[in-house]
Structure 1
């Protein structure tokens, strides 16, 4: 009888442990997620993103930012093109016509105001990486704690200057990080596009689990074919990071939201609508 009781107790404890973990994932600290329009553009030659495929073909791109309401406060993922681009009548043409000709119709500050959110309300933020279409408005939030991979933070601009203002509060992440400590918003290190690229796993209570791609992939076929852009800092790291995220998505039953994929985003709800 003692043996049976002990076995039953072990099974019961395991069930409680499993149930507790499951309940934690269901009772996410995330309340809602807004997709913000942070730029629109046209790539001159998408074979730069998928070498050997569609050479000379152009493609429409979008640039998304994501505002997340967590029980502990507001969190912003990526900041898009600088709001100053909205004032340029001809947009922001690239130095190389094969790259993206960017325009900005909606300012990030205006979209936040529409939600009655002021920049000072955002206490935590993170960027996938430090290309200009992702960090353009970091300094709209000078008091927000910036979470960025240490390798990315220490990677200088081509002219040797730092990519962020030294006075901006920063947490230099090394590897993965559970931002709020409840598993609902997790930074995942995915180097390759840049030395310290990262993606974001978000667990929404109703929509389910999603991975915000940053520039791990730029459009769906880029992801499906494991296309590595010619300008990535490491093809080997990119391939490893893509496989890592694919494995995590399978484990977490997560969907990939690709930042620059216009076709995917055209089917999504944009702010002021939201996902729960």
Structure 2
């Protein structure tokens, strides 16, 4: 017969191992945030982003995606310019010379492969909005649940075409969404640029809180001066969304990472490096 003390120790050890297994299965929180190069481009005339200013002035833009490793799985924010653009020698040249000519130095697929992440590993994703420089690779992840505002999903595309494949699994939102239920990744409803535009609040254990802007703002000067681009669908909503982001930054003591701002992106660690 096992001595009583030994038996008690064995039971305690078994209970601890069970607790550890349970804790592992209930793991929450963001572990890593990767900044991905999802396009680089040059705008022929930036006055559309700064009405009344910068007529005829060109500017380099970047396009950024973000891959988040959470305790419960992988989450992708924005998908950038279509990977097919990488094969275009002159980039994706717009019909309007004032718009952005986009290039794709690295495909999204190749960057994921470098990280050992397969498209099927990405179980959930979201796009800030449905402009093609943010949705170019959505169908690289046909099984991934797409979080999108209902106002954006229902917004008619060109010739009233749907903005996503009807077969793509989707969760329609009507406001903010705590993605994993632990407060670590929160979609923020920030309409104005488009009817259902959204931004993302990420709480990192070491880096702290970060707000990923989407196109609620396009570059730092526009943020500092609260400028509203002429192509935005609603000026008042845009201003209100900028204020919501400002309030969030103050409350969370967060950094604002602006999607298209080249100077800021050039100062950041890019994948395979990460923020934790």
Q: Under a length normalisation based on structure 1, what TM-score does the superposition of the two structures give?
A: 0.89
Structure 1 counterpart of 2:225 = 225
Distance 1:184 1:247 in 2: 18
Secondary structure of 2:163's counterpart equals: coil
Q: Where in structure 2 are there 5+ consecutive unaligned residues?
A: 1-26
Distance 2:166 2:245 in 1: 31
Secondary structure of 1:76's counterpart equals: strand
Secondary structure of 2:227's counterpart equals: coil
Structure 1 counterpart of 2:122 = 122
Q: Counterparts in 2 of 1:34-73, with a 5 A limit?
A: 34-73=34-73
- 1:64–1:260 Cα contact (<8 Å) kept: yes
Q: How far does residue 56 in structure 1 lie from its aligned partner after superposition?
A: 1.0
- 2:177–2:186 Cα contact (<8 Å) kept: yes
Distance 1:28 1:113 in 2: 24
Structure 1 counterpart of 2:269 = 269
Distance 1:227 1:50 in 2: 6
- 1:28–1:204 Cα contact (<8 Å) kept: no
Residue by residue, what CA displacement relative to the aligned partner does 1:46-77 show, whole Å, maximum 9, x if unpaired?
Answer: 11101112211100000000000000000000
> Hey, which bits of structure 1, 4+ residues long, moved more than 3 A?
none
Q: How far does residue 274 in structure 1 lie from its aligned partner after superposition?
A: 0.3
Equivalent residues, number: 250
- 1:193–1:215 Cα contact (<8 Å) kept: yes
- 1:49–1:230 Cα contact (<8 Å) kept: yes
Distance 1:274 1:224 in 2: 27
Structure 1 counterpart of 2:74 = 74
The answer to whether 1:238 aligns with 2:226 is no
Distance 2:183 2:28 in 1: 8
Q: How far does residue 158 in structure 1 lie from its aligned partner after superposition?
A: 2.4
Structure 2 counterpart of 1:195 = 195
Residue by residue, what CA displacement relative to the aligned partner does 1:67-91 show, whole Å, maximum 9, x if unpaired?
Answer: 0000000000000000011111111
**CA RMSD across the alignment:** 0.9
Distance 1:58 1:275 in 2: 31
Distance 2:33 2:110 in 1: 17
Q: Under a length normalisation based on structure 2, what TM-score does the superposition of the two structures give?
A: 0.89
Structure 2 counterpart of 1:159 = 159
Structure 1 counterpart of 2:145 = 145
Secondary structure of 1:159's counterpart equals: helix
Distance 2:118 2:95 in 1: 34
- 2:28–2:71 Cα contact (<8 Å) kept: no
Q: Give the greater-gyration-radius structure (CA).
A: 2
Q: How far does residue 28 in structure 1 lie from its aligned partner after superposition?
A: 6.7
Structure 2 CA distance for partners of 1:56 and 1:209, relative to 1, 3 Å: same
The answer to whether 1:99 aligns with 2:99 is yes
Q: Where in structure 1 are there 5+ consecutive unaligned residues?
A: 1-26
Distance 1:72 1:36 in 2: 21
